[in-house]
């Protein structure tokens, strides 16, 4: 049994040490062995998981393993992972959900810290060998070792802030004492991960090594003994009381502009922790535990943890291998060009077609600029450009596994494309439309095989917006839809299955938000005030700026389409909006719209003026009302996916957990009453959807998802 287990680990092409003294009968998640030089190898391989995470039982086993190591006193200790995916991806987030008592959190995190401190106190040389991802708690385990060695592809970071937290296993103090404290704080405040070579320059790791050199590197590290780093004069100065106060002041100002303390307390708590206790190792470590416990029980942290699981839920929708290797995109405009560029970056062969050579040329130039920002690595940029093949003849159609149509939002233009494309499709290939709002029933009319036709609605910009709506119609086959969901996941986007309907989900819900903002502007409310009300609620940008970003012509087309096809009322389009569109004042893309734009950046006047909750409700509640309509009418049949789609497709305030979660937290009775009040004041467009009472009769499970009361009673 022992030889078989160790042999399986060796088959993964990772150097994990010898098999001679392997002990696996006491551990489910770890393997402990001793090599010929009397160096202990402690290998993590979490049972039943594709990636290692630190759960309570994993840490309890680590504690037992460290006890054995203390007793047997090997010459040194090596910690590494047997997973191909990486070292340790952080804490097991499932254990954070639903906890509301900070004392319980403090007890749990104190116990976890005791185990990590035990590793830190070992009086033998300790070495962490990292590959893949070393994040959060995994990086904190590595920081407790004397030396940290990483393979070139390793990514290291503290993403806790994205969950409304900061490191809680000693990471705040160990990182700020190990490296430049400002760099360490920046790393924790942003949540960004860094490649191994940059991490070495920062002082976070000691060496970057190739897999074939692991054994030699371990011998050198162990023979070198424990290593302590002499802090530079600059580090000592920044860690002094005056230095911390000065640096913390600047950090606080920059952080507030991006993550207001009212909505995102974690980065501000981290700054305060370092500013107040950064000069005292033991005190800062003790205060880190208390601060972590206070943060974990906040609504922000619990909602951001919910968002993490919403992302995992949507990834699972597209779980499975895709057979797509070649994508053909018709239309090299802003959307088609970026869809093609993104697919090529993700490793697919892409042919991009357009009737105008100058449009193709612009798309290729934009793709190169995108790759310089995203890929950065010269070889990756070159390879992606090699996979992106422009042309005006459409020869790629015959070889493509999927053809994505991204031509203007006109039914007759799209139908002409399908007439030309469908006869050229190879057997089994899929034809997908990137339409943002047109019902697929209007587009499929002349298709010979509508079962292989569906919607694949990307959001602009494709490189940043994670959501893709996978749009079905009653003649689309289940196989087609499943293939599109898997394809979406394979290019690192999140699929949201929706049914064909005017505007689908996201545009149907977003348009009332945009149009209400324009109507308030028409009433005389300053645009800066309208946008600030939305932004202070937590939206990434207000409706006026968003309309300019999307394009006033597109907003007008979608609004007209929805108004013509929906039973529900929408705000009337102000006459001046049509005049702006006719005059070519379309927003960001023309340099002038509702705002002026310079070099792609909005030019705002910092106008004063207060606003009351009524403005915020006029913007946000119609969005919630439309979401309930979409759920009631079956446009989307899963509330988790609905919340996720609105967060990842519109930027709906992540710290609120999604529109449905926000409605429950606010209390649905209050939402209904507020809609009725607005209906009396402003008209029938605010009438509460008939679906609200069903949500009102539901409760929330610990994941924050509404559960019908009948199911709750059965449980």
Last residue of a domain, one of 257, 272, 297: 297
Q: Which of 263, 297, 331 is the last residue of a domain?
A: 297
Residues 630-661 pLDDT 10s: 999 999 999 999 999 999 999 999 999 999 99
The answer to whether residue 567 sits within a structural domain is: yes
Contacts of residue 394, Cβ cutoff 8 Å, sequence gap at least 6: 328, 330, 351, 353, 420, 421, 424
Closest C-alpha to 453, from 436, 430, 428, 479: 430
- What is the rounded distance in angstroms from the CA atom of residue 144 to the CA atom of residue 142? 5
Which range has the worst mean pLDDT, 428-437, 501-510, 698-707? 698-707
Domain boundary among 297, 316, 341: 297
Q: What is the pLDDT of residues 177-196, one digit of tens each?
A: 999 999 999 999 999 999 99
For 159, 162, 185, 220, the CA distances from 193, given in Å and listed in that order, are 8, 12, 13, 28
Strand order in the sheet with 147-150: 30-34, 39-44, 76-81, 126-130, 147-150, 207-208
Q: How many CB atoms lie within 10 A of CB 96?
A: 19
CB count in 10 Å sphere of residue 47: 10
What does the buried/exposed string (b/e) look like for 123-150 if buried means 16 or more CB atoms within 10 Å of the residue's CB?
ebbbbbbbbbbbbbbbbbbbbbbbbbbb
> Is 9 part of a structural domain of the chain?
yes
Structural domain for 258, as ranges: 2-297
CA separation for the pair 69, 307 (Å, rounded): 39
Average pLDDT over residues 223-239: 67
Strand partners of residue 349:
326
- Cα separation, 32 vs 12, whole angstroms: 17
Q: With pLDDT > 70 as the criterion, what percentage of the chain qualifies?
A: 92
What average pLDDT does this structure show over 200-215? 95
Q: What tokens does 194 get?
A: 């860094």
On average, the pLDDT of the chain sits at 90
Give the span between the Cα atoms of 117 and 131, in whole angstroms.
23
Whether 3 shows a pLDDT value over 60: the answer reads no
Record the pTM.
0.91
Which CATH number fits the domain that encloses residue 582?
A: 1.10.1040.50
The tally of domains found in the chain comes to: 2
The tokens of 198 are what? 């940059």
Residue 335 belongs to a domain:
no
Query: Averaged over 547-554, what is the pLDDT?
Result: 90
Kindly report, residue by residue over 282-310, the tens digit of the pLDDT. Answer: 999 999 999 999 999 999 999 999 999 99
Residue 205 lies in a domain: yes
- Backbone torsions φ then ψ of 587, nearest 5 degrees: 115, -145
| CATH number of the domain that residue 91 is part of | 3.90.226.10
- Which residues, in sequence order, are CB contacts of 108 under 8 Å at separation 6+? 56, 95
How far does Cα 276 stand from its chain's mean position? 32
For 498-516, how does the pLDDT look when each residue is reduced to its tens digit (9 = 90+)?
999 999 999 999 999 999 9
Average confidence (pLDDT) over 452-456 = 98
**Average pLDDT of span 340-361:** 96
Q: From edge to edge, which strands make up the β-sheet containing 402-405? A: 388-391, 349-353, 326-330, 402-405, 430-433, 453-458, 467-472, 494-499
Residue 131 pLDDT > 70: yes
How far is residue 35's CA from residue 62's CA, in Å, rounded to a whole number? 19
Query: Is 231 a domain residue?
Result: yes
- Give dist(CA 337, CA 343) in Å, integer: 10
Of the pLDDT bands very low, low, confident and very high (cuts 50, 70, 90), residue 433 is: very high
């Amino acid at each position: 049994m022992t030889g078989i287990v160790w042999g399986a680990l060796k088959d993964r092409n990772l150097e994990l040490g010898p098999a001679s003294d392997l002990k696996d009968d006491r551990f489910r998640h770890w393997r402990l062995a001793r090599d010929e030089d009397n160096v202990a190898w402690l290998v993590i391989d979490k049972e039943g998981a594709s990636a290692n995470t630190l759960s309570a039982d994993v840490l309890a086993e680590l504690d037992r393993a460290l006890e054995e190591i203390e007793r047997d006193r090997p010459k040194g200790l090596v910690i590494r992972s047997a997973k191909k995916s990486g070292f340790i991806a952080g804490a097991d987030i499932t254990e954070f959900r639903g906890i509301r008592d900070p004392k319980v959190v403090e007890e749990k995190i104190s116990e976890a810290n005791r185990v990590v401190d035990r590793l830190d106190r070992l009086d033998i040389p300790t070495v962490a060998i990292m590959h893949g991802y070393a994040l959060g708690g995994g990086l904190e385990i590595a920081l407790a070792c004397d030396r940290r060695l990483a393979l070139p592809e390793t990514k290291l970071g503290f993403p806790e802030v994205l969950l409304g937290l900061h490191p809680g296993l000693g990471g705040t103090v160990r990182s700020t004492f190990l490296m430049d404290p400002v760099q360490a704080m920046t790393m924790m405040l942003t949540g960004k991960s860094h490649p191994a070579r940059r991490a070495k320059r920062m002082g976070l790791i000691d060496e970057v090594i190739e897999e074939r050199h692991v054994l030699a590197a371990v011998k050198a590290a162990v023979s070198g003994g424990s290593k302590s780093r002499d802090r530079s004069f600059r580090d000592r100065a920044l860690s002094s009381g005056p230095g911390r106060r000065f640096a913390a002041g600047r950090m606080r100002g920059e952080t507030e502009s991006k993550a207001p303390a009212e909505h995102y307390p974690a980065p501000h708590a981290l700054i305060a922790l370092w500013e107040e206790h950064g000069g005292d190792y033991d005190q800062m470590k003790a205060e880190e535990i208390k601060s972590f416990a206070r943060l974990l029980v906040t609504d922000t942290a619990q909602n951001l943890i919910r968002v993490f699981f919403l992302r995992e839920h949507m990834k699972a929708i597209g779980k499975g291998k895709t057979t797509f290797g070649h994508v053909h995109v018709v239309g090299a405009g802003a959307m088609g060009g970026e869809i093609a560029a993104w697919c090529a970056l993700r490793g697919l062969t892409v042919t991009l077609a357009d009737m105008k050579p100058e449009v193709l040329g612009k798309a290729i130039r934009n793709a190169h600029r995108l790759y310089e920002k995203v890929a950065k690595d010269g070889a990756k940029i070159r390879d992606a450009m090699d996979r992106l093949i422009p042309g005006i003849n459409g020869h790629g159609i015959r070889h493509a596994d999927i053809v994505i149509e991204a031509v203007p939002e006109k039914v007759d233009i799209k139908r002409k494309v399908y007439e030309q494309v469908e006869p050229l499709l190879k057997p089994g290939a899929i034809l997908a439309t990137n339409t943002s709002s047109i019902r697929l029933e209007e587009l499929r009319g002349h298709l010979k095989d509508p079962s292989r036709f569906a919607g694949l609605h990307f959001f602009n910009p494709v490189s940043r917006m994670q959501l893709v709506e996978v749009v079905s119609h009653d003649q689309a086959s289940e196989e087609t839809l499943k293939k599109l969901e898997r394809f979406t996941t394979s290019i690192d986007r999140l699929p949201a299955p929706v049914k064909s309907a005017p505007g689908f989900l996201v545009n149907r819900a977003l348009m009332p938000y945009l149009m209400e903002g324009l109507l308030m502007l028409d009433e005389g409310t300053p645009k800066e005030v309208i946008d600030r009300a939305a932004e202070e609620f937590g939206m990434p940008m207000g409706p006026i700026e968003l309309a300019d970003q999307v394009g006033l012509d597109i907003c007008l087309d979608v609004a007209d389409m929805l108004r013509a096809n929906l039973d529900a009322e929408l705000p009337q389009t102000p006459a001046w909006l049509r005049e702006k569109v006719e005059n070519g004042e379309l927003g960001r893309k023309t340099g002038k719209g509702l705002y002026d734009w310079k070099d792609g950046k909005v030019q705002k006047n910092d106008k004063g003026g207060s606003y009351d909750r009524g403005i915020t409700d006029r913007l946000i509640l119609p969005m919630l009302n439309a979401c309930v309509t979409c759920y009631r009418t079956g446009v989307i049949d899963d509330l988790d996916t609905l919340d996720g789609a609105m967060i990842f497709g519109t930027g709906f305030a992540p710290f609120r957990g999604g529109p449905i979660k926000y409605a429950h937290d606010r209390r649905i009775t209050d939402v209904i009453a507020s809609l009725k009040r607005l209906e009396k004041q402003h008209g029938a467009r605010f009438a509460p959807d008939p679906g609200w009472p069903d949500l009102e009769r539901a409760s929330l499970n610990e994941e924050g998802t509404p559960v019908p009361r009948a199911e709750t009673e059965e449980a």
